Amino acid sequence: MDCLNVAQFLGGQTSSTYTPESAQRAAISRAYFAAYGHAFHHEVEGKRYCSEKNAANNHRGLRVHFAKKIKEQKIASELEDLRNWRNQCDYDKVFVGDLPKNTEEALKKAKHIIEYLI
18 vs 63: CA distance, rounded Å:
33
Cβ-contact 65, 43 below 8 angstroms: yes
Distance CA 26, CA 95 (A): 12
CA 52 to chain centre: 19
Q: How far apart are alpha carbons 88 and 27 in whole angstroms?
A: 12
Q: Considering its fold, how many domains does the chain have in total?
A: 1
Largest CA distance in the chain: 47
Q: What residue numbers bound the domain in which 20 lies? A: 2-117
CATH number for the domain spanning 108: value is 1.20.120
Digit-coded pLDDT (tens) for 11-26: 877 777 888 899 999 9
pLDDT by residue for the chain (118 residues), tens only, comes to 678 888 888 887 777 788 889 999 999 999 999 999 999 999 998 988 888 777 788 899 999 999 999 999 999 999 999 999 999 999 999 999 999 999 999 999 999 999 999 9
